[in-house]
Amino acid sequence: DKQRKWWHKSVIYQVYPRSFYDTNGDGIGDIKGIIQKIDYIKDLGADVIWLSPVYQSPNVDNGYDISDYYSILPEFGTMEDMDKLLLESQKREMRIIIDLVVNHTSDQHKWFLEAKKSKNNPYRDYYIWRDPVDGREPNELKSNFGGSAWEFDEHTNQYYLHFYSKEQPDLNWGNKQMRQSIWNMMNFWINKGIGGFRMDVIDLIGKEPDKLIKENGPKLHEYLQEMNKHTFGGKDLLTVGETWGATTANGKLYSDPKRNELSMIFQFEHMQLDKMKGKQRWDLKKLDLRELKQVLSKWQYALDKEGWNSLFWNNHDLPRIVSRWGNDREYRVQSAKMLATLLHGMKGTPYIYQGEEIGMTNATFDSVEDYLDIETQNIYRERIEAGFKKEEIMKAFYMKARDNARTPMQWSADKNAGFTTGSPWMKLNSNYTQINVESAIKDSDSVFYYYQKLIHIRKNNENLIYGTYCLLDPEDESIYAYERNFENKKLLIVCNFYDQERSFKFPVSSKDKVQILISNYDDSSLNVQNLQLRPYEAIIYEII
Ligand code: TEU
Ligand code: CA
């Protein structure tokens, strides 16, 4: 069936290299470290690694500010190390997808260094420059990291656009030669044998700053089709776009195979349910399970036929899910498994972010200096100036700061969690003595083995991959239950999101025989018409 793609069956593991594993004691994770731990990822059952940026970079935004797309940051290793990583993954029938950061470059990229020299430099138009208006910024566009999106360049008396830090100038996608430079670079990596691309903030490339358009600009899909045609189109690679501004309507545009754009996107609606409407994500509101059901189900229904979903709870920008929708205190293990069940039971390609598979939790640092992320530092300054109390700001960081996910991977209970023999670039989460890979591997009841089992079941169950999703009981405030249906087979998935007992009744006939595929309690009931679920209990049933 040519509708079927290898990545429908894949499970992707995201590696944030700086915090994964350090092999030379400089306190920074490196490519050799990924090679050393690749069998760990393979054992988990993931067959694709999404590698966050390892390119040359001044590291203002941890590598998302690239100064040379064709070389590797020495802290991470060499191009030989990268080639070796590709080879080692191919040996294991695994693939590496790399981060494509092309909405902006670093201000140290040679294109920008050239562009800054003069208004008629050949690279000037690779970026977006505007004259001052009444001696000020051209308009009120804001940077996602706080402050104006415009930075004044004294040498040429113009402002340049940056949607992230001022060290990350935005590329001008209206420039055809610029686009050609990007296609060349992508083809360089494709020829090296990568498995695909994760495309950073790709929904911004159609920006029209004079009309105040950031996301979803009029030419966005045209550029993606052009990219597809000149690079990965016809090559059977996996492409996933990071699109904070995606709606189900444009979600179809990206991932409908007939349109030749991307394999799938990351939509973020389900990640913004704890944010007050119209406010910043630091302005928190209480979570409501009914909203989560509504959002995830909407995406499941919308892309059932004409597209494909990605499924994720975590990445390097998001707080840890077990500290968010789960319970990282009394029920850490049960709730981590429950959240995994919910996600891997759905239709789409699941992503796992390093540490999720052992139930790593948010970090809670006392001092704001321990938060190294440029976004957190900028927001702190901005909010202090705006009159917020320090405690309030810190509380929001405990819940939402990106550094929650960026603390070093917890490999063992040894010093620095076995991540490095030197001094780590970032503070560790102090709970590594309890939560670490070594103890998870020793404990047959660990979150790790649960993920491994889930992945294995999914790979061998067509219904889990292709079955149609159907939400049950949208108004239930504590249970998330749904069905998957494929040919004449039915799966029932039920998840209790709270630390209380709850009852639930599946609408099945009394003639149906059921079996349990997986559960996070070892004695879950088969009486699906009348279930008493324990705290965070989660079960996948198959009707036989
Ligand atoms: O993230 C895009 C992005 O908009 C987030 O950083 C967002 O601002 C924040 O997580 C929540 O509002 C991508 C990368 O994943 C991120 O690490 C980079 O900092 C950013 O792009 C710029 O390249
Ligand atoms: Ca290192």
Verify that 114 and 54 share a domain, yes or no: no
CATH number at residue 532: 2.60.40.1180
Percent of the chain with pLDDT over 70: 100
Residue closest by Cα to atom 9 of ligand 1:
317
Torsion of CA 413, 419, 423, 424, to 10 degrees: -110
Q: pLDDT at position 209, please?
A: 98
Q: Where are the beta strands (DSSP E) in 122-267?
A: 129-130, 150-153, 158-161, 196-199, 238-242, 264-266
Say if residue 1's pLDDT is above 70.
no
Read off the pLDDT of residues 475-488 as tens digits, 9 standing for 90 and up.
999 999 999 999 99
Read off the pLDDT of residues 53-77 as tens digits, 9 standing for 90 and up.
999 999 999 999 999 999 999 999 9
Read off the pLDDT of residues 6-56 as tens digits, 9 standing for 90 and up.
999 999 999 999 999 999 999 999 999 999 999 999 999 999 999 999 999
Query: Residue 198 falls within a domain, yes or no?
Result: yes
Q: How far apart are CA 342 and CA 337, in angstroms?
A: 9
Question: CB of 527 within 8 A of CB of 512?
Answer: no
Say if residue 175's pLDDT is above 80.
yes
Structure tokens at 197: 């691309």
Counting ligands in written order, the one closest to the CA of 29 is 2
Whether 200 is in the pocket of ligand 1, judged by its Cβ within 6 Å, is yes
Verify that 47 and 99 share a domain, yes or no: yes
Nearest to 469 by CA among 485, 454, 481: 485
Counting ligands in written order, the one closest to the CA of 282 is 1
Torsion of CA 485, 487, 489, 492, to 10 degrees: 0
ipTM of the prediction? 0.96
Q: pLDDT at position 2, please?
A: 65
CATH number at residue 287: 3.20.20.80
Verify that 41 and 153 share a domain, yes or no: no
Read off the pLDDT of residues 63-120 as tens digits, 9 standing for 90 and up.
999 999 999 999 999 999 999 999 999 999 999 999 999 999 999 999 999 999 999 9
Nearest to 535 by CA among 287, 356, 333: 333
Mean pLDDT within 407-413? 98
Verify that 480 and 362 share a domain, yes or no: no
Query: Residue 166 falls within a domain, yes or no?
Result: no
Q: pLDDT at position 3, please?
A: 85
Verify that 77 and 144 share a domain, yes or no: no
Verify that 286 and 195 share a domain, yes or no: yes
Bridging pattern class, strands 150-153 and 68-72? unpaired
Read off the pLDDT of residues 298-332 as tens digits, 9 standing for 90 and up.
999 999 998 999 999 999 999 999 999 999 999 99
Number of compact structural domains in the chain = 3
Query: Residue 484 falls within a domain, yes or no?
Result: yes
Read off the pLDDT of residues 495-506 as tens digits, 9 standing for 90 and up.
999 999 999 999
Q: How far apart are CA 82 and CA 275, in angstroms?
A: 39
Q: Which residues surround ligand 2, an ion (CB under 5 A)?
A: 22, 24, 26, 28, 30
Sorted by sequence, the CB contacts under 8 Å of residue 334 that are 6+ apart come out as 327, 520, 521, 535, 536, 537
* 208 has catalytic annotation: no
Read off the pLDDT of residues 453-467 as tens digits, 9 standing for 90 and up.
999 999 999 999 999
CA distances in angstroms from 456 to 43, 219, 451, 461, listed in the order given: 10, 41, 8, 9
Q: pLDDT at position 511, please?
A: 86
Structure tokens at 500: 């209380």
Mean pLDDT within 142-156? 96
Nearest to 478 by CA among 460, 504, 455, 505: 504
Percent of the chain with pLDDT over 90: 97
Verify that 138 and 281 share a domain, yes or no: no
* 274 has catalytic annotation: no
The SS3 assignment for 51 reads: strand
Read off the pLDDT of residues 249-275 as tens digits, 9 standing for 90 and up.
999 999 999 999 999 999 999 999 999
Query: Residue 415 falls within a domain, yes or no?
Result: yes
* Helix 248-255 and helix 220-230, axial crossing angle in degrees, nearest 10: 20
The pLDDT mean for the chain works out to 97
CATH number at residue 157: 3.90.400.10
Q: In a mutational test of the pocket of ligand 1, which residue from 107, 143, 144, 265 has the highest number of ligand atoms less than 8 Å from its CB?
A: 144
195 band by pLDDT with thresholds 50, 70 and 90:
very high
Verify that 261 and 406 share a domain, yes or no: yes
CA distances in angstroms from 180 to 184, 226, 500, listed in the order given: 6, 10, 57
Verify that 210 and 280 share a domain, yes or no: yes
Report the separation in Å between the CA atom of 425 and the middle of ligand 2, taken as the mean of its atom positions.
10
Q: How far apart are CA 458 and CA 10, in angstroms?
A: 9
Give the structural domain span for 481.
466-543
The SS3 assignment for 5 reads: coil
Verify that 350 and 252 share a domain, yes or no: yes
Sorted by sequence, the CB contacts under 8 Å of residue 55 that are 6+ apart come out as 63, 66, 67, 68, 69, 70, 71, 72, 73
